[in-house]
């Protein structure tokens, strides 16, 4: 299969606001704060007061990047922002978003969640037209495309004409927020891979965010999800919805339900937490276990474990504690310390585990390098048996639509069958949820992208070697 | 009642290690990492290689304070460290620990968890003897006292002679680790207010830490708790235990069980998590509720809620999600944003709460300013009734033994009776666990300090105004 | 007169190197170090190893911006660099140079000394073609123009074709260094406003720098100055000179001799220090004074004062000491301290001044706000008379060719005649050097820009309001 | 000869102020700014408002260490400050001054210029009395001694009683400023090694500074130098002078005249600049040269060179330019660049040097590693002959009174005779000023310490190995 550059793959969160009479950047800050789980490596906000555009970006979490000294100068009633996640080493400020340029129509800033699958081709065309790039990101590709005048843009809002052209040309996943001098726009690709929600701000104006749950933190209600192929224009007067291209067959990322989105987010009208309990319940029906207690991997699989326990009629218990206060540390343990490694993050509770047959529920297994240590940890606290249950099917294919999972080679289920994985992690038994079971739990409604489980990608992937960023450095 | 200076009250974590042939500071770093819940405002490590002493301290969490560049130079096989917590504004580097001085017997460093109740008197005596102080902390009082030659110290280990004198003179709570040129010492006050545990390091040597659970992260087993009134000397040869003064009536802080210690810590032989489930179960028996579901305040009251649910025969559910990625932010919301405040930290789940009668279990209520917003949050997600259950008695008295709770005036149960508190927080019903119930759950074994519930302090408190730190500044 | 945006006016230093088998960025660092007097607000270096381009920029002096950790990664045998000076508040990283983009022909970086007088028009044209700008600088205008394909570029080096187009379209002052994947180019505008010199590196390869004196610090000799209207291409094979357009009437900035360039720089074959002594000697002949001693304003007017003293037959003495160790301070004096202001920078010596009639020589007077305090300072140390002599004519017109002097309104000689200026500064007498005298001293050779003295600008200036940078912020 | 620890040797600047109704720390800041030449490695200020003491210290120059945010909180009408210089690696914040402690009499802070020669003995006595030390500095020795109650202190100002005891016990060089709750004190050792001057502040109050010239920058006049063996107490009422012990034979450091002090400072009533011209003139009489031009090593030997030229009847010229904008850089040149090393700091001017016989005047030669490169630099610019003249005698002995010159082994004149030194530096001739000539120039008045030239130390030096600081680290 053709393989796009994994270095360009990112999970991200975006937010935007139009706040008449108030500082929009402040609302956007709280939106990014609520979307922190979608990216902790960099954050940025761009704003406009109708005269100039303002921007601040930095590496780290949003609460580290922003303080009153740098948020204060982000003037204006319009703003957009971005949280960036990347598992690649490229944590450069140069790749942080939003990207901002000045154009003949005034400032233009873009923040992006997703991944274009034809970014290399579009970039090449723009380069050959004489347009220089400041970064290697597909976000800049969309920014440069939006900066180019389009035929017929004279009539009406030229930005919408350009956005239609963008949607006709770009393939892959993109939930975008765009800032111009006069408005904030929210765009969602024709497949609807990534979520994007809009709501009215208390005090007037409108907000947009990757997840509906973040709207509340921004002081907004939740009014609707942006439709695939549409752009929503937010300005001081209100909002207007523009269907720019025909939607494609719906392909909402099913992994948002399994793991990625916040439990309180509504996707296609369903609460993510409730879906997760159903995933656990389906799993209990498909793969019961003779056991005494059900334990989830905190915090991401707690809901799945509760659902499993309930459906299985087994007691649920906290058998693993996640250390709340640790962050990343760059201190290397010595040999004697190395053995205690996983205990930095998780602690087993002997009072729950000792002498018991334990069902350990996880939401998914991707690379497979935490399951083994967790099984050993449970046994070290006295668990008699450990039955590992995974509330989604085996992940056998990489994501090219914006989730930075892994390459084929890194996916344990690409390399090993279930029996071998069980052996590898050392569990007494192992079962995954079936694809059909997952679809029952998510409520098959409007169509999902499940390519990481099935290899059936909704869009064609670009061929060729990875187009590495040829510009390196900060400043 | 006489009131000691609240500015001196601190919760803290301490650790120490003797690691023959290895860098002790590295083990201490991981110990502090595992004790991060006991203090996030400052961290420090002092070490000794037999020739010189080395120190690094900084503001922030231990993973922020230390990197390989500053940990590497902390040479030697002996080290101690400290995590500091303070709710006062005095987050000065000057008050960070360990405190280190050179003495005629070589370097001396001290790290302290607890609070002396006669610190002002001891400090005054030392000042009048011509000894200058660099900080306002009671830790420096103990350091300066240890630096003074003691009668009869010529025979044997002079530090033990001085430590006996310290124990004869100091009143209040102190679990100390002390670093000298030749040894690390672990001391615990005669009442045993704060925990302190010792274990053998894999690879040789010994470790000490505030909580038994941190020993594993240091690569050590858990051998014993330091006895009240005793000092344990750890050196390259092994350890020796020295009972320096007669223990007083045992007064282990019961709040360590209720809230403060890690769930996997063993205190007086009991796993903290198991005690918390029993606290919840006792509460269910004492104060049942007509309800559909039991929800805990995450993460501290999850165990209590599970215990309540099990004993009450009600389903347990995740009704509140705690945002994992947020830290403190110094960005001020505007008026429109202010209403959404509590949603930064907690999110309610409609699928769990809507239309239900909910038991909300919390571990304790101190100031009482989160319970009200939480009750309202549950109702906003559709909870039909909210019955608040608190798994410890009303906190009516401040702690002067090292837990920085609050002053009398700030304690809601000092000011209001239970009916009024219920009204204040807006719950449909409210019940606290009884003192007897709490004692049953903790297993009344060897004696506790329960002064915050009863006002019966095990030691006499100093009179007089607070002795504010008269030295201000960094560097 | 039409007035271009003063915010775009900058003094700067540029350097470049091709160093086969070595790290070119290292040589460029030392070149910037030697050109530090041309800009202390920001510094940056971009390099290329034939595969990727690397960049690091920062605010502050070059020795503050660079350390081994950020210089080391600037790989490759080709590099260019920039020192930036700006008296405007816009010390943003966003305006620091070099500017770097990726193009269809590989990386392109530009560093610029000078100021385009038709930048606004060129920028507008590019914006309307759909090219977005990341900064408000005229350097980016040139960068974007170079990124655009040119007719006929297929034959030969396409960059030279584009540089010819740039020279045909750009007006004003620009000494550029340009980095591509294969070469470093040095360009000088057709008037030759700003200097630019080339020399062979010891160890092989070639270097380019704003001033000949910097070549030695880069480990290079001084071979030639780049001719106006020409580009010199430096690559691993050697160098080639390309006359791209016909030179205009020569217009080397005469202020480089008066004040700006280093004393050891050769401009048009003349050592700047020697010219400065001649400026002082001409001044002594034109405007003698009955005096006991000649004192220069250190350090810039020491040479002029020595020349004056020698020609006048008067003793030269150090009457003012410049504090070597001070930098800028942002501490505000209180009222009692405010009077002592100028003494932070200069100190008068009573042993030289007391009772004497003093000739105080300065190189030029621009705004006129230091001359008065200096005259008072001399008197405070006992000077009986102070005769101020200025070794250049009155500055009556702003510079639009890259020297950030001042606006018309700020120029004291635009507002006051010589008699009034004398009165304003409180000198016993005041004389400026005549224009003819200055021309004799600089040796009228090949033609100068003397617009700041005469108002005769060699190029047409753009009309219209200042085009302020509409993008604000870092990151 | 016995050799005290060179690690304790420091050159420093001190300042203090009592400023009724104003912020004294602000005046002290400007005093430190004016004393920046006496130490650029660390700076600090301590202040007192009668209730609490405040302090801020940091590494670097005073303008880097202080900004309005950290200066503002240094409240109160009393303050002292310190600039620290050290050529040892020990640029630790822990050794920065002032040192501040709380005592039974309130806060006590000390800043020190000089070096105790019996610090080790005093420190040992205090350690054995049970007093712990936080640093390895002799300043802390004096601080701890001042903190100890003294006999008879009940009557009158106890601090003066303690200062008398200090003067009776301490040997060596110490110009101290001391801050207490009520007053600032200025102390000078009985030999008067280091300068210390007092003056009245405009706006009321008094200032003290290491050099008279700094008083003007503090907004003060210059009233008198503190007498050896005396303390001056400055408080809100005015000042009082206290002769605490009998002065010893006067031993003002002659090197302050030769090199160290500011040119505009008055020492024993003589302007330093005028003395330096006389040093040059004496040198011209003792060691004339057949030459065309006289050049000084900038900036320190410009005055000496002017004096030489005048006395010799030779023209003075700027033949070497010192790069004004460079700071230290940590970038390593590669081999091709290494040759150009000295050109980073100095530039030769061919128009002055080419074909000439040059007298190069330097103020002193200590280690002898710059003279050779300078001679070669002059020759590289065409100098036909280079005659090196040194305006002080050969430095053959280390300083133990506070100037961090070098050890015996590092002093070139300790190892080589004048003929060998000439050969080493490659000059055509070399001559030093004689001791008698130096004494004529400084005007033999009241007695000097000239031990670095003669080896006759005014005080006995401690024997034994260097007492290295056993406490390492920051925070």
D273/C29 CB distance under 8 A: no
A128/C144 CB distance under 8 A: no
Residue D141: pLDDT over 60: yes
Closest Cβ opposite residue D217 in set C37, C318, C340? C340
D102/B133 CB distance under 8 A: yes
Which positions in chain C touch D302 (Cβ < 8 Å)? 318
The CATH topology of domain B6-251 is 3.60.20
Tokens of B360: 């909300």
β strands within B139-267, DSSP E: 172-179, 184-188, 197-200, 206-209, 224-225, 230-235, 238-243, 252-253, 266-267
Question: For the residues of C12-57, what is the DSSP string, one character each?
Answer: EEEEEEE-TTS-HHHHHHHHHHHTGGG--SEEEEEEE-SS-EEEEE
A471/C52 CB distance under 8 A: yes
- Nearest residue in chain A measured CA to CA from C43: A475
Tokens of C57: 């920029």
Closest Cβ opposite residue D108 in set B73, B107, B132? B132
Residue B474: pLDDT over 60: no
Smallest Cα distance from B140 to chain D, Å: 11
- Report ipTM (2 d.p.): 0.89
Closest Cβ opposite residue C132 in set A44, A102, A468? A102
Smallest Cα distance from D324 to chain C, Å: 8
Closest Cβ opposite residue C330 in set D30, D67, D219? D67
The pLDDT of B168-174, averaged and rounded, is 96
- Encode pLDDT of D1-40 as tens digits: 222 333 333 579 999 999 999 999 999 999 999 999 898 8
Which positions in chain D touch B129 (Cβ < 8 Å)? 149
> Would you state the pLDDT for residue A8?
32
- Nearest residue in chain B measured CA to CA from A64: B329
Tokens of B437: 């119930």
> Would you state the pLDDT for residue D98?
95
Q: Tell me the CB-side half-sphere exposure of residue B411, using CA atoms within 13 A.
A: 20
Q: CA D123 to CA D110: how far, in whole Å?
A: 16
> Would you state the pLDDT for residue B264?
93
Which positions in chain D touch C36 (Cβ < 8 Å)? 323, 325-326
C107/A144 CB distance under 8 A: no
The CATH topology of domain D270-323+343-454 is Rossmann fold (3.40.50)
What single-letter DSSP state applies at residue B463? P
- Encode pLDDT of D397-455 as tens digits: 998 888 766 788 889 999 999 999 999 999 999 999 999 999 999 986 679 999 999 99
Residues of D with catalytic roles: 12
Mark which residues 194-223 of D lie under 8 Å from B by CB.
none
Closest Cβ opposite residue C327 in set D63, D71, D203? D63
D53/B133 CB distance under 8 A: no
- Encode pLDDT of C247-256 as tens digits: 999 999 999 9
Bond from prior residue into A299 cis (ω within 30 degrees of 0): yes
A334/B274 CB distance under 8 A: no
B130/D103 CB distance under 8 A: yes
Residue C50: pLDDT over 50: yes
* Least reliable range by pLDDT among B365-369, C42-46, C343-347: C343-347
Which positions in chain C touch A471 (Cβ < 8 Å)? 52-55, 100-102, 107
Angle between helix C371-380 and helix C418-425 axes, rounded to 10 deg: 50
Whether B219 contacts B31, CB under 8 Å: no
Residue C206: pLDDT over 90: yes
- Nearest residue in chain D measured CA to CA from B474: D56
Closest Cβ opposite residue A339 in set B22, B219, B340? B219
Which positions in chain B touch A38 (Cβ < 8 Å)? none
A102/C44 CB distance under 8 A: no
A274/B351 CB distance under 8 A: yes
A355 has a chain B CB within 8 A of its CB: no
Residue B230: pLDDT over 60: yes
H or E element: which one contains B390? strand B385-390
Residues of B with catalytic roles: 12
A61/B299 CB distance under 8 A: no
β strands within B201-339, DSSP E: 206-209, 224-225, 230-235, 238-243, 252-253, 266-267, 270-271, 293-296, 320-322
> Would you state the pLDDT for residue A468?
44
Ordered by start, the domain boundaries in chain A are 6-248, 271-324+342-454
> Would you state the pLDDT for residue A462?
73
The CATH topology of domain C6-248 is 3.60.20
> Would you state the pLDDT for residue A150?
95
Q: What is the mean pLDDT of chain C?
A: 90
Q: Are D and A touching by the rule of 3+ CB pairs within 8 Å? A: no
Smallest Cα distance from B362 to chain A, Å: 16
> Would you state the pLDDT for residue D4?
30
- Give which of A322, A324, A297, A296 is closest to A310, Cα–Cα: A296
- Nearest residue in chain D measured CA to CA from B467: D52
Smallest Cα distance from C129 to chain A, Å: 7
Residue B181: pLDDT over 80: yes
**Residue with token string 């102390």:** D187
The CATH topology of domain B271-323+342-444 is Rossmann fold (3.40.50)
Query: Best of A60, A66, A131, A144 to disrupt the C interface by mutation (most C CBs within 10 Å)?
Result: A131
Beta-bridge partners for C473: A55
Query: Best of B15, B320, B347 to disrupt the A interface by mutation (most A CBs within 10 Å)?
Result: B347
> Would you state the pLDDT for residue C337?
72
Which positions in chain B touch D166 (Cβ < 8 Å)? none
- Nearest residue in chain B measured CA to CA from D181: B470
Query: Best of A312, A326, A332, A442 to disrupt the B interface by mutation (most B CBs within 10 Å)?
Result: A326
D53/B148 CB distance under 8 A: no
The pLDDT of B17-24, averaged and rounded, is 96
C154 has a chain A CB within 8 A of its CB: no
- Nearest residue in chain C measured CA to CA from D26: C333
Percent of chain D with pLDDT over 70: 90
The pLDDT of B113-126, averaged and rounded, is 94
C219/D339 CB distance under 8 A: yes
Residue B341: pLDDT over 80: no
As assigned by CATH, the class of the C271-323+341-454 domain is: alpha beta
Closest Cβ opposite residue D52 in set B44, B57, B470? B470
Q: Model confidence at B195, in pLDDT bands (50, 70, 90)?
A: very high
> Would you state the pLDDT for residue D400?
87
CATH of A271-324+342-454, one of 3.40.50.2020, 2.60.120.380, 3.40.50.300, 3.30.70.260: 3.40.50.2020
D326 has a chain C CB within 8 A of its CB: yes
Mark which residues 45-74 of A lie under 8 Å from B by CB.
61-64, 66-68, 71
Mark which residues 91-110 of C lie under 8 Å from A by CB.
93, 96, 100-104, 106-108
What single-letter DSSP state applies at residue D426? T
> Would you state the pLDDT for residue A5?
30
Q: Do domains A6-248 and A271-324+342-454 have the same CATH topology?
A: no
Whether D18 contacts D234, CB under 8 Å: yes
Smallest Cα distance from C467 to chain A, Å: 12
Residue C296: pLDDT over 90: yes
Residue B7: pLDDT over 60: no
- Nearest residue in chain A measured CA to CA from B276: A351
B474/D56 CB distance under 8 A: yes
The one-digit pLDDT tens for each residue of chain A (475 residues) are 222 233 333 579 999 999 999 999 999 999 999 999 888 889 999 999 998 999 999 988 898 899 999 999 999 999 999 998 764 434 567 778 999 999 999 999 999 999 999 999 999 999 999 999 998 889 999 999 999 999 989 889 999 999 999 999 999 999 999 999 999 999 999 999 999 999 999 989 999 999 999 999 999 999 999 999 999 999 999 999 999 999 999 999 999 999 999 999 999 999 999 999 999 999 999 999 999 999 999 989 999 999 999 999 999 999 999 877 656 666 777 777 776 655 778 889 999 999 999 999 999 999 888 899 999 999 999 999 999 999 999 999 998 888 766 788 889 999 999 999 999 999 999 999 999 999 999 986 679 999 999 999 999 887 654 444 566 665 5
> Would you state the pLDDT for residue B9?
38
Please report, for residues C253, C391, D216, the alpha-carbon distance to residue C6 in angstroms, rounded to integers and kept in the order given: 18, 26, 38
> Would you state the pLDDT for residue A9?
39
Whether A110 contacts A99, CB under 8 Å: yes
Residue D340: pLDDT over 70: no
Whether D219 contacts D202, CB under 8 Å: yes
Smallest Cα distance from D16 to chain C, Å: 15
Q: Helices (DSSP H) in A220-347: which residue ranges?
A: 255, 272-286, 302-312, 335-338
B347 has a chain A CB within 8 A of its CB: yes
Sign of CA pseudo-dihedral C332, C337, C342, C344: negative
């Amino acid at each position: 299969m053709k393989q796009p550059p994994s270095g360009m793959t990112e999970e991200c969160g975006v937010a935007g606001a139009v706040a008449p009479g108030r500082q929009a950047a402040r609302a956007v800050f709280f939106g990014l704060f609520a979307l922190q789980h979608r990216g902790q490596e960099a954050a940025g906000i761009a704003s406009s007061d109708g005269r100039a555009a303002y921007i601040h970006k930095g590496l780290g979490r949003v609460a580290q990047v922003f303080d009153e000294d740098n948020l204060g100068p982000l003037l204006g009633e319009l703003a957009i922002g971005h949280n960036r996640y990347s598992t690649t080493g490229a944590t450069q400020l140069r790749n942080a978003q939003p990207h901002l340029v000045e154009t003949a129509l005034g400032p233009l800033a873009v923040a992006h969640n997703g991944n274009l699958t034809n970014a290399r081709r579009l970039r090449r065309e723009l380069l050959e037209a004489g347009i220089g790039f400041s970064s290697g990101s597909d976000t800049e590709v969309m920014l440069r495309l939006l900066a180019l005048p389009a035929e017929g843009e004279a009539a009406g809002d030229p930005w919408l004409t350009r956005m239609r052209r963008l949607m006709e040309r770009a393939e892959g996943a993109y939930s975008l927020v765009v800032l111009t001098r006069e408005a904030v726009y929210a765009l969602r690709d024709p497949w609807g891979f990534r979520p994007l929600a809009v709501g009215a701000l208390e005090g007037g104006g409108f907000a947009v965010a990757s997840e509906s749950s973040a709207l509340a933190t921004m002081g907004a209600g939740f009014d609707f999800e942006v439709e695939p192929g549409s752009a929503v224009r937010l300005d001081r007067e209100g909002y207007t919805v523009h269907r720019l291209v025909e939607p494609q067959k719906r392909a909402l990322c099913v992994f948002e339900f399994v793991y990625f989105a916040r439990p309180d987010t509504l996707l296609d009208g369903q609460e993510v937490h409730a879906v997760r309990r159903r995933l656990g319940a389906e799993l209990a029906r498909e793969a019961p276990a003779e056991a005494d207690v059900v334990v989830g991997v905190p915090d991401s699989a707690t809901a799945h474990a509760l659902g499993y326990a309930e459906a299985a009629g087994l007691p649920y218990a906290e058998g693993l504690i996640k250390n709340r206060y640790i962050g990343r540390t760059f201190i290397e343990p010595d040999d004697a310390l190395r053995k205690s490694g996983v205990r930095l993050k998780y602690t087993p509770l002997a009072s729950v585990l000792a002498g018991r047959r334990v069902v350990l529920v996880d939401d998914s297994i991707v690379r497979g390098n935490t399951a083994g240590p967790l099984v050993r940890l449970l046994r070290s606290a006295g668990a008699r048996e450990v039955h590992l249950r995974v509330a989604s099917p085996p992940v056998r294919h990489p994501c090219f639509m914006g989730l930075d999972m892994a390459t084929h080679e890194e996916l344990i289920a690409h390399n090993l069958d279930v029996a071998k994985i069980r052996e590898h992690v050392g569990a007494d038994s192992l079962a995954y949820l079936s694809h059909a079971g997952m679809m029952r739990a998510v409520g098959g409604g409007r169509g999902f992208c499940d390519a990481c489980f099935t290899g059936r990608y909704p869009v064609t992937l670009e061929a060729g070697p990875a187009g590495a960023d040829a510009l390196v450095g900060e400043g």
